[in-house]
Amino acid sequence: MRFKCDGLELSEAIAIVSKAISNRTTSQILEGIKVVAGEDKLVLTATDLEMSIVKTIRAEVFSSGETVVPGRLFGEYIKKLTNEQIECELNEKNQLKISYTDSEGVLQCMEISEFPDIKEVEKDNYFEIKNEDFKSLINNVYYAVAQDDSRPILKGILLETNKNSIKAVAVDGCRLSISNKILTMSTADFKIIVPGRNLNEIVKMLESEGSVKVYIHSNNIMVDLGDTVVVNRLIDGQFINYRQIVPKDFSTVVTINKEQLEDAIDRASVLSRIDKNNLVKFDIKEKNLMLTSNSEIGNTKENITVGVKGNDLNISFNSKYFSDCLRVIDNPYVKMNFNSQIQPCVITPCEGDDFIFLILPVKAR
């Protein structure tokens, strides 16, 4: 195998596929990047067996071939050569010689036969959505994906399609996030659970314009981004019945300027962060919301004029949970819906059903 390519293009391609390199593995081959040269192109592949990324770039190929390079080492080396034209040649010892200007380096490669095959995903069943809508859909719920391994199903995002709409759901035990968007096209109704981390990496790769097709087959999905293809293994199991969690009726409804609320919580959380619960108290009375936080070194009070329908209420929350939620909302005004001190707050838009965010309260001391 021998090829020549642009250092910057190769470095950027390595950075993309490296997102699928396994961080925790006892298999050395999963730390590698498969490199295939042929037909005036270079194809790079990395996988952790859950997510696989395949990236194609232009190359001048003198002789075709394939090998597996040490992923992170290869990436660090090429990152220093972004202003160079790079020529790579694989020798009989399975070593990749990297030549540039008057210098060269050599990397010992791994056995190509040990690299796992990437599952083919048929393109019969899929849904299509605008890039900006898919980004918003996932960003709206990703913050609520569980991070610990105690319930693996909650490390995924539930995607449900119904005719021309899609719903994304994430829950971590303390908060629930639901986002709804319109689809451009769908060949069937789907209900799948995709690892949240992987979906987050996919939306980072999307351009701001255009649309994307997500193909579903067997236990995998594939997202074709042109020169980049991402294949994800789905999570098996039954997702939590989120519809039973969200209350239908509320005794207190607060309409509030989203930016004012976000700023007030951010200021209050400066002191609340000292306490491990990040506790901020909400005192809702007439047309006023007072936020208070207390710690050993001080306290703060924030007053916001709001619209209130229903009962007065005192309730406390982890300020981080509220900030995470508000950060993804674009609407200028939102509704906060309550029932009691021990029941969750449900945040919704003033009009429509683009999102539903639910946050459990914290028992105040």
Task: Tell me: do 308 and 268 sit in the same domain.
Answer: yes
Separation of alpha carbons 268 and 271, rounded Å: 6
Q: Look at residue 364 and tell me if it is in a domain.
A: no
Q: Which of 83, 114, 145 is the last residue of a domain?
A: 114
Q: How far is residue 60's CA from residue 67's CA, in Å, rounded to a whole number?
A: 17
Q: How many CB atoms lie within 10 A of CB 218?
A: 11
Q: Quick check: 272 and 295 in contact, CB under 8 A?
A: yes
Average pLDDT over residues 127-153: 94
Residue 43 domain flag: yes
Both 103 and 135 in one domain: the answer is no
Over its C-alpha atoms, the chain yields an Rg (Å, rounded) of 25
Are 85 and 157 in the same domain?
Answer: no
The answer to whether residue 120 sits within a structural domain is no
pLDDT at 273: 66
| 233 band by pLDDT with thresholds 50, 70 and 90 | very high
Q: Are 273 and 333 members of one domain? A: yes
Asked if 358 and 246 count as a contact pair (C-beta separation under 8 A), the reply is yes
Four-CA torsion 54, 58, 63, 65, nearest 10 degrees: 0
pLDDT band at 364 (very low <50, low <70, confident <90, very high): low
pLDDT of 277 reads 64
Phi, psi at residue 79, to the nearest 5°?
-60, -25
Answer yes or no: do 280 and 335 share one domain. yes
Single residue among 82, 114, 146 that ends a domain in this structure: 114
Does 146 lie in the same domain as 58? no
Within-domain flag for 119: no
Has residue 121 been placed in a domain? no
Instruction: Indicate if 260 and 232 belong to the same structural domain.
Output: no
Whether this prediction's pTM lies above 0.85 is answered by yes
Same-domain status, 284 and 260 = yes
Report if residue 326 sits inside a domain.
yes
Same domain? 106 vs 141: no
Shared domain check, 133 and 61: no
- Domain end position, chosen among 243, 278, 297: 243
150 in any annotated domain: yes
Residue 226 is which amino acid? G
State the residue for tokens 């981004």.
225
Same domain, 99 and 160: no
Mean model confidence pLDDT for the chain: 93
Number of domains in the chain: 3
d(CA 309, CA 306): 10
Task: Give which of 258, 255, 243, 263 is closest to 284, Cα–Cα.
Answer: 255
**Strand 32-38 with 41-47, pairing:** antiparallel
Q: Does residue 193 surpass a pLDDT of 90?
A: yes
- Residue 298: pLDDT band with limits 50, 70, 90: confident
Give the range of the structural domain holding residue 348, as residue numbers without chain letter: 247-359
Q: Residue 51 — very low, low, confident or very high, per pLDDT cuts 50/70/90?
A: very high
Helix (H) / strand (E) element for 3: namely strand 2-6
Environment class of 351 (CB within 10 Å of its CB; exposed 0-12, middle 13-18, buried 19+): exposed
CB 258 within 8 A of CB 357: no
Does pLDDT of 272 surpass 70? Answer: no
**Residue 280 covered by a domain:** yes
pLDDT higher than threshold 80 for residue 26 = no
61: domain CATH number is 3.10.150.10
Query: How high is the pLDDT of residue 269?
Result: 83
Q: Render pLDDT for 99-114 as a digit per residue (tens, 0 to 9).
A: 999 899 999 999 999 9
Rounded Cα distance between 119 and 121, Å, is 6
Closest CA to 42 of 56, 54, 32: 56
Q: Do 51 and 13 fall within a single domain?
A: yes
User: Average of pLDDT values for 23-41?
Assistant: 91
Averaged pLDDT, 76-103: 95
Tokens for 117?
């095959």
Nearest alpha carbon to residue 5 among 69, 57, 64, 68:
57
